[in-house]
Amino acid sequence: MKRFFLIYSILAASFSMSLADNPVIQTHFSPDPAPMVYNGTVYMYTGDDIPGTDFYYMTKWRVMSSTDMVNWTDHGSPISLESFEWARDRAWAAQCIERNGKFYWYICAQSTQNDMAIGVAVADSPTGPFKDALGKPLIINGSWSNIDPTVYIDDDGQAYLYWGNGSLYYVKLNKDMISYSGDIVTVPITMESFGGIRGNKNAETPNKDMFVEGPWLYKRNNLYYMMFAGMGKGGETLSYSTSASPIGPWKYQGKIMEDQKLNSFTNHGGIIDYKGNSYLFYHSGLLPNGGSYGRASCIEQFTYNVDGTIPAVTATKE
Ligand code: FUB
């Protein structure tokens, strides 16, 4: 995206301005961007890669905001592993959503039981202070697939929490947003629904894209979209499926972003409409000293096709 400038301030207290192309945040690593539009402002919730590490050993999450998609204010790190008594490591991808004036930040982390689990922190403001809403995980069942929560509240008030790695799951959240009803549902991953089938590496398939992780659920013009990180040739794609219902069946639509020279292996994205434009958020390892464990948030503006499909989006540096 062209001409992004960054205003970096610690808790909005002191300002210094620098010219920043993609990645839009150049002052620190900011993987797994999850945008949220609230009250005319875009909030971007991210992780925090640690320079020099050799795995995703992150310890905290971050928030930044903008009202023009050009200047970004850093609100610091309102939550960390220490905010969740049950979390011991791997502060991975997260998403925040507002309901009735409260902000629910769904996170995933390695639990003290050693698996990955999903928790939720709540606040009265999009920038906190946030507090662990439950004092225990919302989703924990011994699985390493409990990562990358995405949340959406439908027009009828029903909220959905999806997540997964390798497999895709969802639950229907209750109105309190910190509990759910019914069973955890496993979503079928097929060629038709997500562009590929796991464990079929040698098969001749017309498209080896498939759901890996990083789901992002939203609705636009009565069509539900599930963007996800798919399996590319040398790293992750951003791909998507659509449905007439928030619980599927899903129809694979193709790749949005190829695994192209992002220097990060993973990709993880979010999509919003803001002030009449549509934006794809993703991450790359293209900051100096960046890489698979040094990823930073990037943004591209795009225009939906007339039929609601998403065009291929190219990662730009400026
Ligand atoms: O950032 C840690 C993990 O890498 C995320 O949870 C995945 O989506 C991938 O981006």
**Predicted local distance difference test score (pLDDT) of residue 14:** 32
Tens-place pLDDT, residues 96-122:
999 999 999 999 999 999 899 999 999
**Predicted local distance difference test score (pLDDT) of residue 200:** 54
**Cα-to-centroid distance, 292 and ligand 1 (Å):** 10
Q: Are 47 and 36 in contact (CB under 8 A)?
A: no
Q: Put residue 128 in one of left, alpha, beta given phi > 0 → left and psi -120 to 50 → alpha.
A: left
**Predicted local distance difference test score (pLDDT) of residue 86:** 98
- Helix/strand/coil for 189: coil
**Predicted local distance difference test score (pLDDT) of residue 6:** 42
- Residue length, the chain? 318
**Cα-to-centroid distance, 156 and ligand 1 (Å):** 31
**Cα-to-centroid distance, 20 and ligand 1 (Å):** 24
Nearest CA to ligand 1 atom 8: 214
Q: Which ligand 1 atom sits nearest the alpha carbon of residue 229?
A: 8
What percent of the chain shows pLDDT beyond 90?
A: 83
Most distant CA pair in the chain, distance: 57
Q: Which ligand 1 atom sits nearest the alpha carbon of residue 31?
A: 1
Q: Are 61 and 48 in contact (CB under 8 A)?
A: yes
CB atoms within 10 A of CB 283: 28
Tens-place pLDDT, residues 167-212:
999 999 999 999 999 999 999 999 899 998 766 555 545 456 789 9
**Cα-to-centroid distance, 169 and ligand 1 (Å):** 16
- The encoded tokens of residue 287 equal 């900051």
Decide: residue 213, CB within 10 A, 0-12 exposed, 13-18 middle, 19+ buried: buried
Cβ-proximal residues to 288 (8 Å cutoff; 6+ apart), any chain: none
Residues with CB under 6 A from ligand 1: 31-32, 47, 56, 92-93, 147-148, 213-214, 229, 266, 268
Q: Which ligand 1 atom sits nearest the alpha carbon of residue 295?
A: 1
**Cα-to-centroid distance, 268 and ligand 1 (Å):** 7
Q: What is the ipTM of this complex?
A: 0.99
Enter the pTM of the model: 0.93
Q: What is the DSSP letter of 28?
A: S
Residues of the chain with pLDDT under 50: 1-20, 204, 206
How do beta strands 296-302 and 277-284 pair? antiparallel
